[in-house]
Amino acid sequence: MAMKILAWTVSNSHTSINGQLIAHAARLIEEGLLGDATVEVLDVNDFEMPFYRPDRDEAGIPAEAHQFFEAIGAADALVISFAEHNGHYPAIYKNLFDWMSRIETQVYQGKPAVFFSSSPGSKGGGSVMKAALDSSQWFGSDVKASLSVPKFYENFDSDKGEFRNAEMGAEFRTALSSLAVN
């Protein structure tokens, strides 16, 4: 049976550079990089919710948090690309994550995952990647590989939807390939 990959961009920018990385990853998967695999891409903007507040637990966890959590549960592996706002995740994802963690602390449910990140500058993507990797162990992720892409516009051709930096493109494919079932 085909491996089910779930992918999403941690950004609520409609011109997200991390969205371009996820689109590139999805195309590589569709072209067979991981063998017999399908990919579903979720948009975190479809899961925008009121800010998490302990007081709101009593009223119940919003349906959007359950839907995203269940989509993770139904996947065989995860591909995530993180934008960075002030050294951490954009707030839309922190909120989604906090709500999902009220369903179950192991938000990533033990799924194999590859983490990407990128910023236009040299350091932003690296700082959110550190935050994501440092905390992921508490949330049931099994990160097989990670790659932070600095200076996005120097390294990636947005018009073609692929890397101009061939070495980095190869690193990206190698990271993604770590999800292949041997």
Ligand X SMILES: Cc1cc2nc3c(=O)[nH]c(=O)nc-3n(C[C@H](O)[C@H](O)[C@H](O)COP(=O)(O)O)c2cc1C
* DSSP conformation class of 151: S
Q: Which of 35, 73, 87, 110 binds ligand X (CB under 6 A)?
A: 87
Query: Using CB under 6 A, which of 7, 44, 80, 84 touches ligand X?
Result: 84
Minimum separation from the CB atom of position 81 to ligand X (A): 7
Residues 104 to 143 in contact with ligand X, rule: CB under 6 A: 119, 121, 123-124
- Within 57-181, strands assigned E span 77-82, 112-118, 142-149, 156-157, 162-163
60 binds ligand X (CB under 6 A): no
Which residue in the set 5, 6, 7, 18 belongs to the binding site for ligand X (CB under 6 A)?
18
Burial class (CB in 10 A: 0-12, 13-18, 19+), 9: buried
Q: Does 148 bind ligand X (CB under 6 A)?
A: no
Residue 43 parent element (H or E): strand 37-43
Query: Residue 62 phi/psi, 5° resolution?
Result: -60, 150
Told to check if 27 binds ligand X by CB under 6 A, we report: no
Q: Which of 11, 109, 146, 148 binds ligand X (CB under 6 A)?
A: 11
| 8 Å CB contact between 48 and 85 | no
- Interaction between residue 91 and ligand X (CB under 6 A): no
Residue 29's alpha-carbon distances to 3, 81, 127, 164, 179, in angstroms, are 10, 15, 27, 19, 10
Is residue 161 within the footprint of ligand X (CB under 6 A)? Answer: no
Binding site for ligand X (CB under 6 A): 11, 13, 16-19, 83-87, 119, 121, 123-124
